[in-house]
Amino acid sequence: MGTSIAPLQASGMDVSAAALRYWEQRQNIASGNIANVSTDGFKGERAFASLLNGSSAPVISTTTDFSAGPMTTTGAPLDLAIQGAGFFVVQTANGERLTRGGSMQINPAHQLVDRTGDPLLGESDASGGSAGPITIPPGTAKLMIDSGGAVVADGKQIARLRVEQPPQGAQLQHDTNGLFLRPASVAGVPVVQRTVRQGVVEQSNVSSVGSMVDMIAIQRAYANVQKVMTTMDAAREHLLRHKPHVM
């Protein structure tokens, strides 16, 4: 009676396939970060691996890095940023979204809008302004926005920007154009706790050099896993071809 050879366990290939999926996800995240290096107020995604329930296959988890990006002084009156915590609120076709600001514009309807044309929203304020899109009076010669978000046109307050903050530890989901989905649990930031800066733009907190280094490391890791899978597959084929026949 001949000697039988036990088939190779599939776990090695399974773990390698899971590793490939992990590195593919890492690559997608890194690509998204690189694509938004120049997006004002963008917050990078960070990825890390974990093992669940004793599994040897890595599972990817992600978190958003909400550290501040570099602040650049432009002096342009429609450039807005928030120093510290908080988000502006814009109205998009898909609902309200949160943004850290950027280079704003005034559209043909005289509304204050972000770079993609979504109106910034104001809040009701006894000193001037109501909830909803902010309209700048035609012919305004001087537009001032103070640290509390009050919008002052030629010396008269016409609106106050909504500034909101999600609960501590909340994980915001990225939307398009550097926006974030607005969770139901956000709260308004008290005026005295706001630091809105006019004539300043917060840049992306993603480092172009760091992201490229990360992408290269990911691609190398992916190639190494592919090489391991190719080697295991070749070994399996070799054993199958040379498996002794049972007499």
User: 72-86, 127-141, 222-236: which has the minimum mean pLDDT?
Assistant: 222-236
Q: Which residues contact 56 (CB under 8 A, 6 or more apart)?
A: 11, 15
Mean pLDDT of 9-37: 76
Distance of CA 115 to the CA centre of its chain: 17
Element holding 19 (H helix, E strand):
helix 11-35
Start-to-end CA span in the chain (Å)? 6
Q: What is the pLDDT of residue 214?
A: 79
pLDDT exceeds 90 at position 19: no
**Which has more pLDDT, 219 or 38?**
38
Q: Is the dihedral of CA 214, 215, 220, 224 positive or negative?
A: positive
Tell me what pLDDT residue 134 has.
97
Looking at the predicted structure, is the pLDDT value of residue 7 above 50? no
Q: Could you tell me what percent of the chain has a pLDDT over 90?
A: 47
pTM: 0.75
Rounded to whole angstroms, the Cα distance separating 181 from 19 reads 30
Task: Tell me the per-residue pLDDT of 181-210, one tens digit each, with 9 for 90 and over.
Answer: 998 889 999 999 999 999 999 999 998 887
Strands, E assignment, 65-142: 71-73, 79-82, 87-92, 95-99, 101-103, 105-106, 112-113, 121-122, 132-133
Which range, 1-5, 26-30, 53-57, is most confident? Answer: 26-30
pLDDT for the residue 58: 65
CA angle 45, 47, 48 (to 5 degrees): 155
Q: What value does the mean pLDDT of the chain take?
A: 84
Q: What is the pLDDT of residues 78-122, one digit of tens each?
A: 999 999 989 999 999 999 999 998 899 999 999 999 999 999 999
pLDDT score of 125 more than 80: yes
What pLDDT is recorded for position 208?
80
Q: Is the pLDDT of residue 5 over 60?
A: no
Bigger pLDDT: 17 vs 229: 17
For 130, list phi and psi in degrees, rounded to 5. -135, 170
